[in-house]
DNA sequence: GCCCAGGCGTCCC
DNA sequence: GGGACGCATGGG
């Protein structure tokens, strides 16, 4: 019998990590749910199926790939249990937000993909973001194919899994304004058209070395990037865990629950994680929250 | 038809 | 520096 991708399995111990909550937390827009406990993830030209299993994750790939790639993606060294000890026992709202979303982790996503997806995110709902990001991948990304995939395509009858990587800067530059508009980007098509001409992969990598403030200013100089998008890229693309994006949901939370101001000082240098808890709780619970 | 979505660029003061 | 306004598109 031939060895296929799905024959290999590697366990990644990661307590308090919930794939479903991360998928719903609005930091990544390309995960594909297989069922409630299993997702297909994508990073550059790699993909893997991940299953929620006991006190960790079961990844359908080799140990080597987990160590070289996915353990960094999940940033396994981050100790959320330790950080949660900072929680103010008198802050009942944040306590509830933590209980509600304690499976959330901040991923280390690709900076370019994070930058683009958050430029496209403005004035869009999360499902709409997913839709246009997927269209962009199919339009300009590299076609990938996993042979011997267990599912059979209902349309063509072939076995295998087809997907498209997120387009690189160079691939994005190949697109015309009309191509971009056809992906459903709306007025953001012009932002991306200009944005992909302002940058190189090397610059994005070099920016890893910058301090938070310097990096934020670099991002703010880009087309279509304001303070909210820049802060999301800091947090989700460069893993700057103190970055605290303020979108409409967080503005509601701050107004409703922290009229005297959020205690940023207390939660340094992990304000971004606590922001994510507030966002997920407020958005998921909608009007039902207490 | 309406309102809203992980906002930003531009104009104006 | 801050406030008002327009912006494309999809979903509820």
- Residue nearest C7 (alpha carbon to C1'): A187
**pLDDT the model gives residue A1:** 46
Percent pLDDT > 90 in chain A is 88
A 263-282: CB within 7 Å of strand B: 275-276, 279
CA of A136 to C1' of C8 (A): 16
**pLDDT the model gives residue A191:** 98
A 108-147: CB within 7 Å of strand B: 118, 121-126, 128-129
Give the model's confidence band at A253: pLDDT under 50 very low, under 70 low, under 90 confident, else very high.
very high
- Global pTM reads 0.95
Query: Is the distance between the Cβ of A241 and the closest atom of strand B smaller than 7 Å?
Result: no
**pLDDT the model gives residue A159:** 78
Provide the pairing of β-strand A32-35 with A10-13.
unpaired
Give the model's confidence band at A284: pLDDT under 50 very low, under 70 low, under 90 confident, else very high.
confident
What distance in Å separates the CA atoms of residue A175 and residue A172, rounded to the nearest whole number? 6
Q: Which nucleotide is nearest to A189 (CA to C1')?
A: C8
**pLDDT the model gives residue A289:** 55
Of the candidate ranges A51-55, A135-139, A160-164, A283-287, the one whose mean pLDDT is the lowest: A283-287
CA of A216 to C1' of B2 (A): 37
CA of A125 to C1' of B3 (A): 13
Using a 7 A cutoff on CB, list residues near strand C: A 123-125, 127-128, 131, 181, 184, 186-187
Q: Which nucleotide is nearest to A186 (CA to C1')?
A: C8
Strand C footprint nucleotides (protein C-beta < 7 Å)? 7-12
Give the model's confidence band at A153: pLDDT under 50 very low, under 70 low, under 90 confident, else very high.
low
């Amino acid at each position: 019998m031939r060895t296929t991708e799905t024959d290999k399995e590697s366990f990644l111990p990661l307590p308090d990590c919930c794939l479903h909550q991360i998928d719903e937390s609005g930091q990544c827009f390309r995960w594909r749910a297989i069922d409630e406990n299993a997702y297909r993830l994508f990073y550059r030209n790699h993909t893997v199926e991940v299953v929620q299993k006991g006190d960790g994750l079961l990844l359908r790939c080799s140990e080597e790939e987990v160590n070289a790639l996915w353990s960094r993606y999940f940033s396994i060294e981050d100790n959320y249990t330790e950080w949660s000890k900072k929680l103010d026992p008198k802050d009942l709202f944040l306590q509830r937000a933590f209980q509600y979303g304690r499976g959330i982790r901040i991923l280390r996503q690709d900076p370019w993909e994070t930058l683009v997806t958050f430029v496209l995110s403005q004035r869009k709902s999360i499902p709409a973001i997913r839709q246009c990001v997927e269209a962009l991948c199919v339009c300009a990304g590299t076609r990938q194919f996993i042979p011997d995939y267990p599912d059979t395509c209902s349309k063509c009858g072939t076995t295998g899994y087809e997907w498209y990587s997120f387009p690189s800067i160079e691939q994005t530059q190949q697109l015309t304004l009309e191509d971009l508009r056809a992906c459903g980007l709306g007025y953001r098509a012009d932002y991306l058209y200009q944005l992909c001409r302002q940058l190189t992969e090397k610059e994005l990598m070099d920016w890893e070395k910058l301090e938070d403030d310097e990096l934020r200013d670099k991002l703010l100089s880009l087309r279509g990037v304001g303070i909210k998008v820049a802060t999301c890229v800091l947090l989700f693309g460069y893993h700057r865990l103190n970055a605290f994006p303020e979108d409409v949901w967080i503005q509601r939370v701050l107004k409703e629950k922290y009229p005297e101001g959020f205690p940023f000082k207390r939660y340094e240098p992990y304000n971004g994680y606590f922001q994510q808890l507030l966002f997920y709780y407020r958005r998921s619970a909608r009007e039902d929250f207490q």
